[in-house]
Amino acid sequence: MITLNILKLSARLTWRRRFGAMLTCIGVASGAFLMTVIETMQGTLTEATSLKPEDRKLVVYRENRFCPFASRLPDAYTARIARVEGVAQVIPVRVIVNNCGTSLGVITFRGLPAEALPGLKLKLIEGSLEAFGQRGDSAVVGQRLAQRYGLKVGQSLDAAGIRVSVAAIVSADEAKNEDVAYVKLDFLQQSTRSLGIVTQFDVLVKEGFDLKVVAQAIDTELHGGQEPTQTRPEKVFVAQMARRLVELIEFTRWVGLAAVAAVLAIVANALMIEVRGRVKLNAVLMTLGYQPGHIRLIVLAEGLALGLFGGLFGLIAAWLFLHFGRFSLSTDGVTLAFQTSPQRLFLVCGICSLLGLLAAVFPAMVAARQSIVASLSAER
């Protein structure tokens, strides 16, 4: 009960000097914002590139090629790949991007047979999937891409020399699949004067088969063909294709650490100033019978509150930024769509609270150690 009373007192003292507390919270919120964005980028990268036992997808690409413009494989490979033991499904895909370099907001066209569309488990938001099958230049557009460019059903999308009509807008289980315009393979091949040519094959492996073994079997099967291939699990393919993104995003880890240090310094500095300004108040409280442990608790609770609320403000701002900004980073036709998760938000909130608490340890010790008599006669 006494601890609760003291926590309430700490909250009251913090609230009554809310202008100063708010400034500290804004500082913490800025750090938390940065941390959330970086944590989201890191998390997205980890999810996109870390192979899991349940993963069943392979990507067949032209050997020694690292750009969709350079990977040219004959679509006749489809039947040969399908014959390899362990292969459940093969989808020939032509990928065309308006920018092959590392960039934000790249438009990616994925050309695939119309019958392969239901297998992508896309959820219709607007328009009609039947229209996709009826008209040659129709496209099914992922909602992230549609929202970024303000696309509506019936409008045209013109990029990379390709002009399509938006037949439907869809959502998908994975954010990266919402950042793509799906078009018919033959239309895309015609538009790019590459009939019979695809960029890659997306292969689904049967359960119980080892991905690497099947990948090797595919490459062995196509070894004597006109274009040699390199088959990799989808996430390994993404990790290798997006290596520039990986380097870039891994660099941001340092920025994240700087944000952590900033939060720590901001709270510690604010609390040290506060503790120094409250020398007399703490001495009065101790005269009234507050023990050093009570004074420590007041300062620690204040640090925790500043960290917690600053963190909350920051992560709410970051969530709004990422949710409505729908940012994605692309390179060589591989897209990483940044999407935060409740776990990441809780993690950042927890880190900020912990940092607030840690930052308060030294000021709390200073406050509790002060001499009552000397503090009562201090100038401030």
Q: Please state the closest distance from residue 127 (CB atom) to another protein, in A.
A: 59
Position among 176, 294, 296, 326 found at the interface with another protein (CB under 8 A): 294
Position among 59, 95, 249, 285 found at the interface with another protein (CB under 8 A): 285
Q: Taking the alpha carbons of 164, 165, 168, 169 in that order, is the dihedral positive or negative?
A: positive
Both structure tokens of 72: 């040219």
Instruction: Judge whether 311 and 29 are in contact, CB under 8 Å.
Output: yes
Instruction: Judge whether 225 and 77 are in contact, CB under 8 Å.
Output: yes
| Cβ distance to another protein smaller for residue 9 or 347 | 9
Bridge partners (DSSP) listed for residue 74: 197
Give yes or no for residue 1 binding another protein (CB under 8 A): yes
Give yes or no for residue 281 binding another protein (CB under 8 A): yes
Give yes or no for residue 320 binding another protein (CB under 8 A): no
Give yes or no for residue 6 binding another protein (CB under 8 A): yes
Binding to another protein in span 16-35, by CB under 8 A: 16-17
Helix (H, G, I), strand (E, B) or coil at 183: strand
Give yes or no for residue 277 binding another protein (CB under 8 A): no
Q: For helices 18-49 and 342-369, what crossing angle results, to 10°?
A: 140
Position among 79, 251, 288, 324 found at the interface with another protein (CB under 8 A): 288
Bridge partners (DSSP) listed for residue 331: 334
Give yes or no for residue 211 binding another protein (CB under 8 A): no
Where does this chain touch another protein (CB under 8 A) — which range of 7-15, 134-142, 187-195, 341-349? 7-15
| Cβ distance to another protein smaller for residue 195 or 288 | 288
Give yes or no for residue 289 binding another protein (CB under 8 A): yes
Q: Please state the closest distance from residue 309 (CB atom) to another protein, in A.
A: 18
Q: Taking the alpha carbons of 168, 173, 177, 182 in that order, is the dihedral positive or negative?
A: negative
Q: How many residues bind another protein (CB under 8 A)?
A: 26
278 phi and psi angles, rounded to 5 deg:
-110, 20
Give yes or no for residue 273 binding another protein (CB under 8 A): no
Where does this chain touch another protein (CB under 8 A) — which range of 136-144, 151-159, 170-178, 284-292? 284-292
CA nearest neighbour of 170 among 113, 118, 94, 115: 118
Instruction: Judge whether 195 and 189 are in contact, CB under 8 Å.
Output: yes
| Cβ distance to another protein smaller for residue 50 or 291 | 291
| Cβ distance to another protein smaller for residue 184 or 296 | 296
- Reading phi first (left if > 0) and then psi (alpha if -120 to 50, else beta), residue 105 is in left
Position among 290, 309, 319, 338 found at the interface with another protein (CB under 8 A): 290
Where does this chain touch another protein (CB under 8 A) — which range of 29-37, 251-259, 281-289, 325-333? 281-289
| Cβ distance to another protein smaller for residue 182 or 290 | 290
DSSP E strand stretches across the chain: 57-62, 73-74, 87-97, 103-104, 108-112, 123-127, 138-142, 156-159, 162-171, 181-184, 197-198, 200-205, 229-233, 328-331, 334-337
Q: Please state the closest distance from residue 9 (CB atom) to another protein, in A.
A: 6
306 phi and psi angles, rounded to 5 deg:
-65, -40
Q: Which residues bind another protein (CB under 8 A)?
A: 1-2, 5-6, 8-9, 12-13, 16-17, 280-281, 284-294, 372-373, 376
